[in-house]
Amino acid sequence: MSTVDLLRAHAPSAPESLHSRVLALRPEPKRTRVRVRPAFVLAGAATLAVAAAVVHGFATSAPKTAAPPRHTPSRAFGSAGSAVQAQTKLAPAIGAVPAPSPGRLQSTSASLSVRVDDLGAKTTEATKIATRLGGYAQSVHYTAGGSATIDVRVPAGRVKQAIAQLGALGTIVAQQISIQDLTSQLERQSAQIAQLRRRVAALKQALASPSLPDAQRVLLQIKLSEAKRALAERLHGRAATVSAGATARISLTLETRRAAAAAPHHRGRLGRMLHDAVGFLAVEGLVVLFALIVASPFAIAFGLVWWYRRRATDRLLME
Amino acid sequence: MNAATTSLRLPRASEQPSFDAVVAEHLDSVYRYLVYLTGDRSAAEDLAAETFEKAFRSWRRFDPRRSAPRTWLCGIARNAAVDWLRAEARRRRREEIYARDFDEEQQFGDGLPGPVESALRQLSAGEREVIALRILLELDGPSAARVLGISNTACSTRLSRALKRLEELTPDVDR
């Protein structure tokens, strides 16, 4: 008989006391348990993520209802430094262009997009309009697609006329006007300049005293030069503010019908939906990646503890 | 087909063995496994009771489709035995008794020849454990490996070494 057969033949049996002890236990009735496989959970999560992305893409790709054009921009010049923007997609009524508020310094910038038939002639005419109104064309850019962008500067008081005349070159496709109140900025700069002038005068008076010690004289001279430099900076800044308020800036885009037709074709709804869905999926991926990065140290620590316990158990059983 | 072979077959989803049937069929196996693992019959008795108590508490969570009852019970028994062995090791260190003192009475079998009993005492708990699982309980390789938490190959290697050592320690046994 081999050792294995001996072991089998003389295997210990549980005593009767143990049988009765264990059989005295009465388990609760077994309930049907739904077993969830990790692969199913992962597949479900992935499906949910894709479905959410598709729904998001579908919702955001829906065509937006265009708001009715507002030809009369709101005016809010009561507070200092306020800005007003007016944007119209259709040919606006010229009266809608806000006129400069009297007694206030305002910076006006506008952009006009006008569809014309003859690009060259209309560009020349736009330049002439600027010159006639006392302004100038700062730059002209032609594009290969058949459009031109002209940066025009006109006196602030004539911006309304300029927009009217430039808009009359063809059909206005888009128009945007922005007005920024510079009065408070100008007042602040003027106050700083007055303060610096008083300081310069005081320093000059102090330096004129013959009894001034040499060390203090040197110190006052340094302060005087600093005050003069600051005064020059403020004067330059105020001149720039006045200049910005005196001249309006108009960016005029002239385009032919051909150029408008050749404009990049926008995506269809399906394309937009797919684009948005892919973007949403990318965001979901980033969230998952972030979660993994946050969870990874804990997972590593858990793994190390598990590994250490297992090694310890093996050592215990094999010693 | 013997009882052990029957117990290794995974029950179908509709086959839900009763707890009493599981106790009747597997108590001896679990007890044998624990005797071999601990080398102490009284401890094995307590641990077997503890194992079935734990199994009783988690009986609702047991899924016969995932593992055979015997494998599941051996897993619970192993955890309980490892905790006991750890406590024993701490106690021995505390009492500065480095050599394991087994009782002189037979621990590993009823009527087992003395040299085999002595040889089993000289094996490590891990070696006796794999012998119990594969020889006494007749678990197949994958099931035993699953209980031990090692690969099938490692389980076979461990069994082979344990049996070789046992043979070396019992050269004069009258077979």
Answer yes or no: do B60 and A318 touch at CB < 8 A.
no
Asked if A20 reaches chain B (Cβ–Cβ under 8 Å), the answer is no
A and B: number of Cβ contacts within 8 A: 116
Chain B residues within an 8 Å CB radius of A4: 135, 163
DSSP count for chain A of H helices, then E strands = 9, 6
CA distance A277 to chain B (A): 39
Answer yes or no: do B63 and A13 touch at CB < 8 A.
no
Asked if A30 reaches chain B (Cβ–Cβ under 8 Å), the answer is yes
CA separation for the pair B86, B90 (Å, rounded):
6
ipTM of the complex: 0.71
Asked if A37 reaches chain B (Cβ–Cβ under 8 Å), the answer is no
CA separation for the pair A35, B13 (Å, rounded):
11
pLDDT (tens digit, 0 to 9) for every residue of chain A, 319 residues total?
Answer: 677 888 888 888 888 888 888 877 765 555 556 667 788 888 998 899 888 888 888 887 766 544 444 443 434 333 334 444 444 344 444 445 666 666 778 888 888 888 888 888 888 999 999 899 888 988 888 877 778 899 989 888 888 888 888 888 888 888 888 888 888 888 999 999 999 999 999 999 988 888 888 888 899 999 999 999 999 999 999 999 888 888 888 999 988 876 666 555 566 778 888 888 888 899 999 999 999 999 999 999 999 999 998 888 888 888 7
Chain A residues within an 8 Å CB radius of B116: 3, 6-7
Asked if A316 reaches chain B (Cβ–Cβ under 8 Å), the answer is yes
**Is the alpha carbon torsion for A171, A176, A181, A185 positive or negative?**
negative
Chain B residues within an 8 Å CB radius of A27: 19, 56, 59-60
Q: Which residue has the tokens 């923007």?
A: A85
CA separation for the pair A119, A169 (Å, rounded):
10
pTM comes to 0.48
Nearest by CB to A3, from B24, B63, B173: name it. B173
